[in-house]
Amino acid sequence: MGAPSLTPIPAKKYCPKEPPDSCRLFYPEDPIKIVRGQGQYLYDEQGAEYLDCINNVAHVGHCHPLVVQAAHGQNQVLNTNSRYLHDNIVDYAQRLSETLPQKLCVFYFLNSGSEANDLALRLARQYTGHWDVVVLDHAYHGHLSSLIDISPYKFRDLDGQKEWVHVAPLPDTYRGLYREDHPNPAGAYAGEVKRVVNSVQEKGRKIAAFFVESLPSVAGQVIPPAGYFPEVAEHIHRAGGLFVADEIQVGFGRVGKHFWAFQLQGEDFVPDIVTMGKSIGNGHPVACVATTQAVARAFEATGVEYFNTFGGSPVSCAVGLAVLHVLEKEQLQAHAASVGSVLMELLRQQKAKHPIIGDVRGIGLFIGVDLIKDEATREPATEEANYMVSRLKENYILLSTDGPWRNVLKFKPPMCFSVDNARHVVAKMDTILTDMEEKVRSCETLRLQP
């Protein structure tokens, strides 16, 4: 062994040329350098305060002192893997179980929503002995190989659809197959899933799972009609598959009325697997899969252990517990319900005033504003949505777009977002929309004057 040296290779510049960029910044033309966060506010290096309407990861507010302190308290004492006994993991599982239907009583802890969905896929395949997956159109379930395969939002642009993946129509009552004028959109969309299931079975293939975000987000902040999930679950269960509710973006009280968004689908509806991420750790990398004993036992029966180096560490669990504690202490679920109601009402008033707003949909602090070029065709107003986002940024409001045409303004702010914040954003939107309309009118006037 030669003489050891700490830095064997001489220091050098980061990269000879501009590095490639696969992670896109917000406002790529004029990115923001954020240096501080507190509650629903972010601050740039000049000290300018931005209102954050989109970061659902900072669930109980950026840098919440109780969450930060919980992490620090545990980080100082012990941060190791789950090969040893520790109270935090038991307490956390216990506390999470209190928010879920009794059937969902086994918990796996991981580092990211993607890891959670990948494990859900493994669990479903192991339990059912089947391989295929049904997903909704435009869905996104994570950045791992296995999840890109079940995310039409991603695989459409990459190597295409795997033979074991089957896409059902998005239950979007504004832009989809069955709309607000349909007598039973829940049944009609569930019937579409049944049709997909039948065609899969006709090919001799077998369904392991139906994956769905309880409220599809990148698909355009879609609110599936109530009763859709229970009917879909019937079709999926009859085919021997499991129902996986992806709550990564929408769980933990965001919808206000319930703690979990899947509960909007019917009081008695219980998925077979629920996946959690993002908001669960308020920014600390935590995720969880909750499932039934039957599913867990089938997985255990393989004899192959599941071990996750960081998942379920005393620190991750302490942070998760602190988030639940703050949610309860500050009554943020009720807060989301009341602030969300005000915001929805204000946005509906805007819809009545500005024809570019085609649809305002949402529940609690999960809201989409669908911008259109034309009321009859509902043609997406993509450029206008982009323009809105950039004008709002000039007004120190961080909002972004989603949906297949990126024409849906999305609200999913930290849960401490206030009624004043709602009034402020909507007033700015009103000003910008009025301004846009005036510009259009003056252009038309110009065109009338040759």
CA Rg, the chain, in Å? Answer: 23
Stretch that binds its own copies, among 224-232, 327-335, 403-411, 441-449 (CB under 8 A): 327-335
- Candidates 59, 60, 61, 62: give the one binding its own copies (CB under 8 A): 62
Does residue 284 touch its own copies according to CB under 8 A? Answer: yes
Smallest distance from its own copies to CB 420, Å: 20
Q: Which of 356, 323, 338, 365 is nearest to 436 (CA)?
A: 356
**Strand partners for 135:** 167, 211
Q: Judging by DSSP bridges, how do beta strands 49-52 and 397-398 pair with one another? A: parallel
47 touches its own copies (CB under 8 A): no
353-359 long-range contacts, CB within 8 A, separation 24+:
353/430, 353/433, 354/430, 354/433, 354/434, 354/437, 356/381, 356/384, 356/433, 356/436, 356/437, 357/433, 358/174, 359/174
> What is the DSSP secondary-structure string of 395-433?
TTEE-EEETTTT-EEEE---TT--HHHHHHHHHHHHHHH
- Long-range contact set of residues 437-444: C-beta below 8 Å, sequence gap at least 24: 437/354, 437/356
Binding characters for its own copies, 138-177, by CB under 8 A (x = yes):
-----xxxx-x-----x--xx-------------------
Q: Rule CB under 8 A: is residue 389 a binding residue for its own copies?
A: no
- Smallest gap, in angstroms, from Cβ of residue 448 to its own copies? 42
Q: Does 19 bind its own copies (CB under 8 A)?
A: yes
The one segment of 81-89, 174-182, 208-216, 384-392 that binds its own copies by CB under 8 A: 81-89
User: Binding to its own copies by residue 12, rule CB under 8 A?
Assistant: yes
- Rounded to a whole number of angstroms, the minimum distance from the CB of residue 230 to its own copies is 17
Choose, by CB under 8 A, the member of 163, 181, 268, 305 that binds its own copies.
305
Q: Is 77 in the site for its own copies (CB under 8 A)?
A: yes
Q: Which of 230, 234, 285, 405 binds its own copies (CB under 8 A)?
A: 285
Burial 400-420 (b: 16+ CB within 10 A, else e): bbbbbbbbbbbbbbbbbbeee
CA distance 221 to 35: 29
Nearer to its own copies, 1 or 448 (CB): 1
Nearest distance in Å: CB 166, its own copies: 18
To its own copies, the closest distance from the beta carbon of 256 in angstroms equals 5
Q: How many residues bind its own copies (CB under 8 A)?
A: 120
The distance of closest approach from Cβ of residue 177 to its own copies in the complex, given in angstroms and rounded to an integer, is 27
Distance CA 277, CA 195 (A): 31
Nearer to its own copies, 14 or 446 (CB): 14
> Minimal distance in Å, beta carbon 27 to its own copies?
9
> Ramachandran region of residue 31, left (φ > 0), alpha (ψ -120 to 50) or beta?
beta
Based on the shown chain and the rule CB under 8 A, indicate whether residue 328 belongs to the binding site for its own copies: yes
**Binding of its own copies by 41 (CB under 8 A):** no
Enumerate residues 346-385 that contact its own copies by CB under 8 A.
363
Measured distance CA(304)–CA(218) in Å, rounded:
35
> Which of 36, 179, 203, 439 lies at the binding interface for its own copies (CB under 8 A)?
36
Nearer to its own copies, 20 or 450 (CB): 20
Is 221 a residue that touches its own copies (CB under 8 A)?
Answer: no
Q: Is 325 in the site for its own copies (CB under 8 A)?
A: no
Structure tokens at 94: 């216990």
Residues 255 and 207 sit within 8 Å (Cβ to Cβ): no
Kindly tell me which of 32 and 177 has the beta carbon lying closer to its own copies: 32
Shortest Cβ 388–its own copies spacing (Å): 18
Question: Please, what is the angle between helix 314-329 and helix 87-97, to 10°?
Answer: 40
Q: 194 or 333, CB closer to its own copies? A: 333
- Restricted to residues 96-125, the positions that interact with its own copies (CB under 8 A) are 97-102, 105-106, 108, 111-115, 118-119, 121-122
Give 12: exposed, middle or buried? Use CB within 10 Å, 0-12, 13-18, 19+: exposed
Sheet strand arrangement including 49-52: 41-44, 49-52, 397-398
Residues contacting 392, CB < 8 A, separation 6+:
398, 399, 425, 428, 429, 432
- Count Cα atoms within 13 angstroms, Cβ side, for 354: 30
Q: How far is the CB of 441 from its own copies (least distance, A)?
A: 35
Least separation in angstroms between CB 224 and its own copies? 16
Interface with its own copies (CB under 8 A), residue from 198, 199, 309, 431? 309
| Residue 263 interacting with its own copies (CB under 8 A) | yes
The total number of residues shown for the chain amounts to 450
